[in-house]
Amino acid sequence: MSKQFKRLLNCMRSISERIDFKPSLALILGSGLGDYADGIKTEYILDYSEIEDFPVSTVPGHKGRFVFGYIGDIRVVIMQGRIHYYEGYPMADVVLPVRLMKMMGAETLFVTNAAGGVNTNYSCGDFMLISDHICLAPSPLIGENIGELGVRFPDMSNIYDKNLRGIVRNTAERLGIKLQEGVYIQLTGPNYESPAEIRMVRTMGADAVGMSTACEAIAANHCGMKVAGISCISNMACGITDQPLTHKEVQETADRVAPLFKRLVTESIMEIYNSSAKY
pLDDT band at 32 (very low <50, low <70, confident <90, very high): low
Residue-wise pLDDT for 9-19, tens only, equals 999 999 999 99
Residue 169 pLDDT greater than 60, yes or no: yes
- Rounded CA-CA distance 184/68 in Å is 28
Rank 52-66, 115-129, 246-260 by mean pLDDT and report only the highest: 115-129
For range 115-143, the mean pLDDT: 96
Active site residues: 31, 62, 84, 86-87, 114, 211-212, 235, 247
What domains can you pick out in the chain, each with its CATH number?
Answer: 3-15+22-274 (3.40.50.1580)
Residue 278 pLDDT greater than 70, yes or no: no
pLDDT, position 277: 46
pLDDT, position 60: 64
In terms of DSSP bridges, do strands 208-210 and 65-71 run parallel, antiparallel, or are they unpaired? unpaired
Residue 255 pLDDT greater than 80, yes or no: no
Angle, CA of 240, 241 and 245, to the nearest 5°: 95
Residue-wise pLDDT for 183-241, tens only, equals 999 999 999 999 999 999 999 999 999 999 999 999 999 999 999 999 999 888 877 77
- Asked whether the beta carbons of 114 and 33 are under 8 A apart, the reply is yes
pLDDT band at 115 (very low <50, low <70, confident <90, very high): very high
Rounded to the nearest integer, the mean pLDDT of the chain is 92
- Report the phi/psi class of residue 111: left, alpha or beta, with left for phi > 0 and alpha for psi in -120 to 50: beta
DSSP SS3 for 42: strand
For range 252-263, the mean pLDDT: 83
For range 247-259, the mean pLDDT: 76
Start-end of H helices in 19-158: 91-94, 96-104
- Rounded CA-CA distance 261/12 in Å is 31
Q: List, in order, residues 6 or more apart from 235 with CB less than 8 Å away.
A: 116, 117, 124, 243, 245, 249, 250, 253
pLDDT, position 61: 58
- Asked whether the beta carbons of 108 and 24 are under 8 A apart, the reply is yes
Residue 31 pLDDT greater than 90, yes or no: no
**Where are any strands of DSSP class E within the chain?**
25-29, 41-47, 65-71, 74-80, 108-117, 127-135, 179-186, 208-210, 226-236
